[in-house]
C-alpha cells in the first residue's frame, strides 16, 4: 500500500487528468519515433544499396539499445527525477531521427539507431514513476490504460505522417521535419515540471528507500521483479510476432489478398485499443489483476490457434484478429498494476525500467525467430508459437501476485 502521506499529496480529478494527458502525450511521441524509419525502408534500401535484413538489423539494434538503457534510465529517474530525464530522452530520440535524415551511409544509420534507442529508453521508467507518485490510486488503472492507448496511437499515426512528408519532400526532409517537431515537443515538455512531479510518494517519509548499488541490485534480482521481467519478454515475443509477420503468414496460409491481410492486422490494432479502454476500467474495480491478465491471455491464445488452423473463411480473419488484439489489450492495465504491487516506494524508476526492458529484449529477438519459421515454410507455426508464449505469460502473472503480496521488496534506507 502507498503511505497515507503520499496519497494525501496527490491532486484531485483535474490534476490527474492533466498528468495523464501530459505523460500520455510523451508516450505518443515515443511510439511515433519507433515507427518513423520502417515505412521508409523501400527508399532507404535503394538509396543505401542494402538488404531488408540489414535494415531489420537497424531496428533490432534500436530496441536492444533501448532495452539495455531502460534499467540505467530507471536509476537516473530515481536519482534525478522524471521531470529532468523524460524531456532529455524525448529530445535525444527526436535528435537521432533528424540525424537519420542526414545519414551519409548505412553505418551512420546504425549509429543513429543506437542513439535513438537510448533516448527511447527513458519513457517507461519516467512515465510510470510519475503515475505512481502523482495519480490517485483509484484512477491508476485508467492512467495506465490511457498511457498504452496513446502509445498505440503513435504507432498508427507515424507511418501516415512520415510517408506523406516523404512523398512531398523526400525521405531525408521528412525525417528532419519530424525530428525537429520532436525536439520542439521536448522543449514544451520541459516547461511542465510541476505536472511531471514523481516525488510526491516520498513526501513526509524520512525512511525513503534509496539504498546503495548493492541494495538496488538485490531489489531487481528479487523473485517477483524477475518474474515480471519474464512476463514482459514473453508478451513482447507473442505480440511483436503477430504485428511483424502475421500479414505474410495470412497470405501464405489462406492465400489472402494483401489488402485483406493488412486490414486484418489493422483490426488487431483497433481491437487492442478497445481492449485497453475496457481493461483500464476493470483494473480500477478489482484487485485480481492476475485473473484479468490470465483470462485475456488465454482467450488471445485461443484466437491465435484459430488463425493457425486455416479453418476460418477469409471474411472472418479480421474478426478473429480483432478478438486477439482486444484480449491482449485488455490485459495491459492489469499487468502494470501487478508490477506496481511489487514495487517499493521510491524505486518505481529502476523497477519499471528493468521489467520493461523485457519488452525490448523480446522485440529485438522476435524478428529472428519468426522470420526463421516463415523461411522454413511454417507460417502456421507463427500463430502456434505466439499462442504458446501467451499461455506462458499466465504462469508469470500468477507468480508475480503470489510473490509480491506477502514479500513486497524493501530497499534499505540510506544512512
Query: Which residue in the block uniquely carries the three cell numbers 519515433?
Result: 33
Q: Which band of pLDDT confidence, cut at 50, 70 and 90, is reported for residue 407?
A: very low
Choose among 240, 236, 244: nearest CA to 52.
244
Of the listed ranges 118-127, 229-238, 291-300, the one predicted with least confidence: 229-238
pTM of the model: 0.73
Q: Which CATH architecture has domain 7-198?
A: Up-down Bundle (1.20)
All residues at 6 or more sequence positions from 111 whose CB lies less than 8 Å from its CB, including other chains: none
Q: 112 near 100, Cβ under 8 Å?
A: yes
- Give the residue-averaged pLDDT of 132-160: 83
- Taking CA atoms, 310 is separated from 54, 198, 255, 256, 259, in Å, by 32, 49, 10, 11, 18
Tell the CATH superfamily of the 213-404 domain: MFS general substrate transporter like domains (1.20.1250.20)
Report which DSSP code applies to 212: -
Give the start-to-end residue ranges of the domains of the chain. 7-198, 213-404
The whole-angstrom separation of Cα 94 and Cα 188 is 13
In tens, the pLDDT along 4-24 reads 344 434 558 888 899 999 999
* Averaged pLDDT score across all residues of the chain: 82
Residue 209 has pLDDT above 60, yes or no: no
The whole-angstrom separation of Cα 55 and Cα 74 is 29
Same fold, 7-198 and 213-404: yes
Residue 258 has pLDDT above 70, yes or no: yes
- Give the residue-averaged pLDDT of 179-195: 93
The pLDDT value given to residue 412: 41
Q: Which band of pLDDT confidence, cut at 50, 70 and 90, is reported for residue 191?
A: very high
Amino acid at each position: 500500500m502507498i503511505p497515507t502521506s503520499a496519497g494525501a499529496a496527490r491532486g484531485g480529478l483535474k490534476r490527474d487528468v492533466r498528468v495523464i494527458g501530459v505523460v500520455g502525450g510523451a508516450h505518443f511521441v515515443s511510439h511515433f519515433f519507433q515507427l518513423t524509419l520502417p515505412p521508409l525502408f523501400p527508399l532507404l534500401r535503394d538509396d543505401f544499396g542494402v538488404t531488408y535484413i540489414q535494415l531489420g538489423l537497424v531496428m533490432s539494434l534500436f530496441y536492444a539499445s533501448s532495452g539495455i538503457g531502460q534499467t540505467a534510465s530507471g536509476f537516473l529517474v530515481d536519482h534525478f527525477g522524471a521531470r529532468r530525464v523524460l524531456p532529455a530522452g524525448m529530445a535525444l530520440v527526436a535528435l537521432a531521427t533528424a540525424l537519420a535524415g542526414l545519414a551519409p551511409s548505412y553505418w551512420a544509420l546504425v549509429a543513429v539507431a543506437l542513439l535513438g534507442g537510448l533516448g527511447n529508453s527513458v519513457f517507461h521508467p519516467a512515465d510510470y514513476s510519475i503515475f505512481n507518485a502523482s495519480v490517485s490510486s483509484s484512477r491508476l488503472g485508467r492512467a495506465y490504460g490511457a498511457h498504452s492507448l496513446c502509445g498505440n496511437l503513435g504507432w498508427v499515426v507515424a507511418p501516415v505522417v512520415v510517408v506523406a512528408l516523404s512523398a512531398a519532400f523526400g525521405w531525408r526532409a521528412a525525417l528532419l521535419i519530424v525530428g525537429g517537431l520532436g525536439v520542439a515537443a521536448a522543449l514544451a515538455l520541459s516547461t511542465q515540471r510541476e505536472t511531471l512531479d514523481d516525488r510526491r510518494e516520498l513526501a513526509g517519509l524520512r525512511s525513503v528507500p534509496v539504498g546503495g548499488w548493492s541494495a538496488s541490485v538485490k531489489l531487481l534480482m528479487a523473485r517477483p521483479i524477475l518474474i515480471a521481467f519474464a512476463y514482459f519478454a514473453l508478451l513482447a515475443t507473442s505480440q511483436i510476432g503477430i504485428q511483424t509477420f502475421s500479414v505474410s503468414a495470412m497470405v501464405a496460409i489462406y492465400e489472402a489478398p494483401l489488402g485483406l491481410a493488412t486490414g486484418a492486422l489493422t483490426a488487431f490494432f483497433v481491437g487492442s485499443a478497445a481492449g485497453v479502454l475496457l481493461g483500464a476500467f476493470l483494473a480500477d474495480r478489482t484487485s485480481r489483476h492476475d485473473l484479468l491478465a490470465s483470462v485475456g491471455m488465454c482467450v488471445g491464445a485461443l484466437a491465435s490457434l484459430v488463425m493457425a488452423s486455416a479453418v476460418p473463411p477469409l471474411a472472418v480473419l479480421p474478426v478473429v484478429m480483432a478478438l486477439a488484439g482486444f484480449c491482449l489489450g485488455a490485459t495491459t492495465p492489469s499487468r502494470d498494476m501487478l508490477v506496481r504491487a511489487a514495487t517499493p516506494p521510491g524505486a518505481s524508476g529502476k523497477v519499471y525500467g528493468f521489467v520493461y526492458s523485457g519488452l525490448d529484449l523480446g522485440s529485438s529477438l522476435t524478428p529472428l525467430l519468426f522470420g526463421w519459421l516463415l523461411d522454413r515454410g511454417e507460417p502456421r507455426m507463427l500463430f502456434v508459437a505466439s499462442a504458446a508464449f501467451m499461455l506462458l505469460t499466465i504462469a508469470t502473472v500468477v507468480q508475480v501476485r503470489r510473490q509480491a503480496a506477502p514479500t513486497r521488496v524493501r530497499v534499505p534506507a540510506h544512512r
